[in-house]
Amino acid sequence: MKLKAPESVFSSASFCPGCGHGLASRLIGEVAEELGIQHSLVTVVDVACCSFNIDYWKFDTIMAAHGRDIPTAVGVKHVRPGSSVLAYMGDGAAYSIGMAETIHAALRNDNICVIVINNSVFGMTGGQMAPTTLPGEKTATSPKGKDPTRYGTLSGVELLKHMDIAYLARGELVGSAGMIKAKKLIKSAFQHQLKGDGFSLVELLSPCPTNLNLPPVKARDFVHNEMTKYFPTGVFIDKGGVE
Residue 1-20 contact track with ligand SF4, rule CB under 6 A, x = bound: --------------xx--x-
Stretch that binds ligand SF4, among 29-37, 67-75, 208-216, 232-240 (CB under 6 A): 208-216
Name which of 72 and 119 has its Cβ closer to ligand SF4. 119
Stretch that binds ligand SF4, among 27-35, 60-68, 202-210, 230-238 (CB under 6 A): 202-210
- Give the burial class of 146: count Cβ atoms within 10 A of its Cβ; 0-12 exposed, 13-18 middle, 19 or more buried: buried
DSSP string, 82-143: TS-EEEEEEHHIIIIITHHHHHHHHHHT-S-EEEEEE-SEETTTT-EE-TTPPTT--BTTBT
Residue 37-56 contact track with ligand SF4, rule CB under 6 A, x = bound: ------------x-------
Stretch that binds ligand SF4, among 132-140, 165-173, 205-213, 225-233 (CB under 6 A): 205-213
- Give the burial class of 50: count Cβ atoms within 10 A of its Cβ; 0-12 exposed, 13-18 middle, 19 or more buried: buried
Task: Tell which residue, 194, 207, 136, has the closest CA to residue 167.
Answer: 194
The yes or no reply on residue 208 touching ligand SF4 (CB under 6 A) is yes
Task: Tell which residue, 217, 213, 236, 99, has the closest CA to residue 163.
Answer: 236
Name which of 71 and 123 has its Cβ closer to ligand SF4. 123
The yes or no reply on residue 115 touching ligand SF4 (CB under 6 A) is no
HSE-CB of 25 using CA atoms within 13 angstroms: 21
The yes or no reply on residue 209 touching ligand SF4 (CB under 6 A) is yes
DSSP assigned state of 225: I
Q: How far apart are the first and last CA of the chain?
A: 55
Residue 150-189 contact track with ligand SF4, rule CB under 6 A, x = bound: ----------------------------------------
The footprint of ligand SF4 (CB under 6 A) covers 15-16, 19, 21, 49, 119, 123-124, 208-211
